[in-house]
Amino acid sequence: MSGTKRAKSTGTGFLLLLLIVMGISAIPGRAQVSAQAQFDEANEYLDSGNYRQALSIYKSILSSQEVSGPLFLNMGISYVQLDSLGMAKYYFLKARSFEETHNRAEEGLQYVSSRFSRQSAVLPKLPWERFFDWLGSVTGPASLLGIGILLLNAGVCAFIAGWFFPSASRPLQGGGIGTAILSVLVILSSFYLQHVQNRYSPAVMVHQQADVLEQPAPDATLISQAYEGYTFTVDHSRSRQQPGWSYVRMSNGLYGWIPNSEIMIL
């Protein structure tokens, strides 16, 4: 009898555990359905011209981490209609990173850029900066590191193979050394790319006008003035030392401090 009770107790415990696991696994599905329903509701407000209400719902979806290209694109469109062009540019830039909304986001960015009353001078990037920008867009640091490790293994294998095939030892070992050197360069590039992505982020000026200052203080020497839609590169390493301020590089090459409230970091 006691064995039967234990069996029933064990069975009940297992059933409860199964139900808990099933309940947990069902939560993301319900969250997705809820987010889609909210998104559809916000789109109806957007279509009817109630842009503020649409944005309120879009932001609610965003706070739940249910992000997508269409979400950012529609937020950008809403801000365009509200004539908040800096915010529109920010969300179009976010939407551009998604393949499904890349082209429409580019169109939005071109339209917004034509509406800005002031345009920032743009200092051309150095060749190595363009190279690492391209490298970051093609592959991430983790993928690059994986490629480097594979190349290193291939180089070591080729070098060792030269010991077993004396007739081809010179080309095998020479190729192995060359491949190993290339792998080290690729691995170092992956570390540098990770460092750049962790330390620097692009940002957009979302208010009409702000001062870029020599020091993180309201009464500091003026470096330049920034206007809505200007883009910056934020140095997180230096910015962390001054809460409420960001140390930025302007697109014209000048450096300075700007309040966090004036910009949005991508």
pLDDT at 5: 41
Do the Cβ atoms of 148 and 186 come closer than 8 Å?
Answer: yes
Most confident of 29-33, 137-141, 201-205: 201-205
Q: What is the pLDDT of residues 101-160, one digit of tens each?
A: 999 999 999 999 999 988 887 888 888 888 888 888 788 899 999 999 999 999 999 999
170: number of Cβ within 10 Å: 10
Distance between CA atoms of residues 261 and 203, nearest Å: 12
Q: What is the pLDDT of residues 205-262, one digit of tens each?
A: 999 999 999 999 999 999 999 999 999 999 999 999 999 999 999 998 999 999 999 9
Distance between CA atoms of residues 97 and 95, nearest Å: 5
Distance between CA atoms of residues 266 and 201, nearest Å: 6
3-state SS track over 94-156? HHHCCHHHHHHHHHHHHHHHHHCCCCCCCCCCCHHHHHHHHHHHHCCHHHHHHHHHHHHHHHH
228, amino acid identity: E
pLDDT at 17: 33
